[in-house]
Structure 1
Amino acid sequence: MSKTASLARVGLVYLIAFGAATAYLLVGPDTDHLWLDGLVADLVATVVVFVGSRTLGNSSCYDPYWSVLPPFLVVFWFLAARDLAGIDDGRSVLLLVVVLVWAVRLTGNWLHDWPGLHHEDFRYAPLRENAGRFGIVADFVAIHLVPTLIVFLGLVPAYAVLARPGEPLGWLDVVATVVGIGAPVLQYVADAQMRAFIKVRQPGQAMEQGLWSWSRHPNYFGEVAFWWSLALFGIAGAPEDWWWLVVGGVAMTAMFQGASIPMMEKRSLERRPTYQDVIDRVPRLVPRPPRRS
């Protein structure tokens, strides 16, 4: 199947998914809590995308959900909370800009790199196979539901900014904006460097140039940094609530450190004989100068 045909099918799934989520928000039962309304709509869309994944026979149908869902929810919270007194529009606008820049960059990256429905993320099949007869459960829970919930946790600070009164704009908002814009820029550069390397690499050669010489996963570092920027926005608006506004950032960091990176590194060690040398010299996530050989 061509990439164009694949994108048309996935696009139809997302049109139905977010149409259903929007319908719930507009005509569904009101919970009296904007965060809960958003969560239920999020879960509705996730279920539809899961059904689409099973129908198309490819769980990578879910992959763009990571970057498509956040702007949907933050725009909903922004519009729904406009009649609440005390909302800082300046901070809300800055947060919206950060989220939209990140979402456009990441979705564009997926559109550029995803070859089509003949390709599925290498991590998904083993998850289903290891679950045996419960493969469909593993597919829904591990590949669809858990990432949805982690992303929602990451958006909790955004909800705090968009739907609750907060402190006036301050220096921490500047830091959050710089980090939030800098993160997708760093990811863009890292991805461009990797694409250039892939065109000329030798069989089994490991990437250790540019940003990849300072971090084995600079793209993941940028992703984690983006979610921490949202936490910084939340803390800027409600410093006394910092202890629960960092939960999403902690969850994101734990997921990348405990799941995504180990799986990628195991695969790299199997396919690239020199990758152990890279591990010995180059930092795992946070960039810094590499050790000498």
Structure 2
Amino acid sequence: MTTDRSRLMGFAVVALSYAAAGLAAWGLVAVLPGRHPLAVTLYADLLATIVVFAASMVVRNASLYDPYWSVAPAVIVAAWVWQAGLSGRRIAVLVLVLVWAVRLTANWASSWRGLGHEDWRYVQLREQRPRLLPWWLLNLTGIQLMPTLVVFAGLLAVWPAVKTNEHSFGLIDVLAVVVTGTSIAVEATADRQLRRHARPGRTLDSGLWRYSRHPNYLGEIGFWWGLWLFALAAAPSWWWTVAGPITMVLLFTFVSVPLMDRRSLSRRPGYADHMRRVPALLPRIVSVAARPSPERRDGVP
């Protein structure tokens, strides 16, 4: 009962914090008429992030920001589509983004235990930061503003997809639907397999995890590439928004994957061998992961 009450209290704090962030963002949009909508969206996004940051400092839990990754894009895309009106492409983009956002937010909510539970990465950053670097500054810039800017870069591809009409719905849009939808399914399947089969000290090497060490990250990267395909279909002159999915690739390849691999190396016997057999993200065409792992050969489930 105490744990349930703690979770409910935590979710209430998150809801109030995000409501305040949304109101602050809406107020900023209202006082900036005549500015380019993309710039206004960025300013509002940053202000909302600062509000969430302030709340995270009050409750001393940086994980208050975690659902922002999936909540903010849904709100932004819905606002853009509402302003532009409905069309085949806009409906496809909106539905896919909403499905992704609801699933990813629910996945976070299912694992978050309340205000007493903070992501291990943030705890590690707090403990290992240079003594002269204030925690509030690291929290604001590294944990909150940086992901907000990365996600906004990814959303740049959605702007031409919902705001321009250079080309009607066509084959590239169909490809975009397939890539985005498949990526959401891959990420959802990987998260479900992780919840069902992961055990302390054991390396998960079944299902999608047999072919990629981080199939959930692979699905997330694919989602942003799918959104960029919508931009390419709508307005090829906006090809440069490819910077968004490229940024996602760099973030997961050079930050998220190394962090998770280092943690697994320290917690899971045999993970070094698993790293040699299984690629970090993209599965090999001919995978050596089909070989049983040392844990399985030794009879350990």
Same fold (TM over 0.5): yes
1:204 and 2:204 equivalent? Answer: no
Match of 1:94 in 2: 92
Distance 2:42 2:109 in 1: 26
Deviations 1:22-76 (A, max 9, x none): 2222x21224211111111101100000001101100000000000000111111
| Aligned partner (choices 59, 63, 87) of residue 60 of structure 1 | 63
Which TM-score applies when normalising by structure 1? Answer: 0.92
SS at 1:246 equivalent: helix
Match of 1:85 in 2: none
Distance 2:176 2:91 in 1: 13
Match of 1:270 in 2: 266
Q: Residue 164 of structure 1: CA displacement?
A: 2.5
1:251 and 2:255 equivalent? Answer: no
Deviations 1:228-258 (A, max 9, x none): 111100011112331x120100000100000
Question: How many residues are aligned here?
Answer: 283
Match of 1:9 in 2: 13
SS at 1:98 equivalent: helix
The within-5 A match list for 1:87-166 is 89-129=87-127, 130-133=129-132, 134-166=134-166
Partners of 2:210 and 2:278 within 8 A in 1? yes
Question: Identity rate of aligned residues, in percent?
Answer: 43
Distance 1:60 1:257 in 2: 22
The AA in structure 2 aligned to 1:169 is F
| Aligned partner (choices 25, 47, 63) of residue 44 of structure 1 | 47
Distance 1:192 1:287 in 2: 19
Match of 2:295 in 1: none
Where does the alignment leave 5 or more consecutive residues of structure 2 unmatched?
Answer: 292-301
Partners of 1:231 and 1:249 within 8 A in 2? yes
SS at 2:245 equivalent: helix
Distance 1:53 1:235 in 2: 38
Distance 1:52 1:131 in 2: 24
Where does the alignment leave 5 or more consecutive residues of structure 1 unmatched?
Answer: 83-87
SS at 1:132 equivalent: coil
Deviations 1:78-114 (A, max 9, x none): 22234xxxxx821111111111111011011111111
User: More deviation in 149-158 or 126-135?
Assistant: 126-135
1:236 and 2:233 equivalent? Answer: yes
Q: Residue 135 of structure 1: CA displacement?
A: 2.0
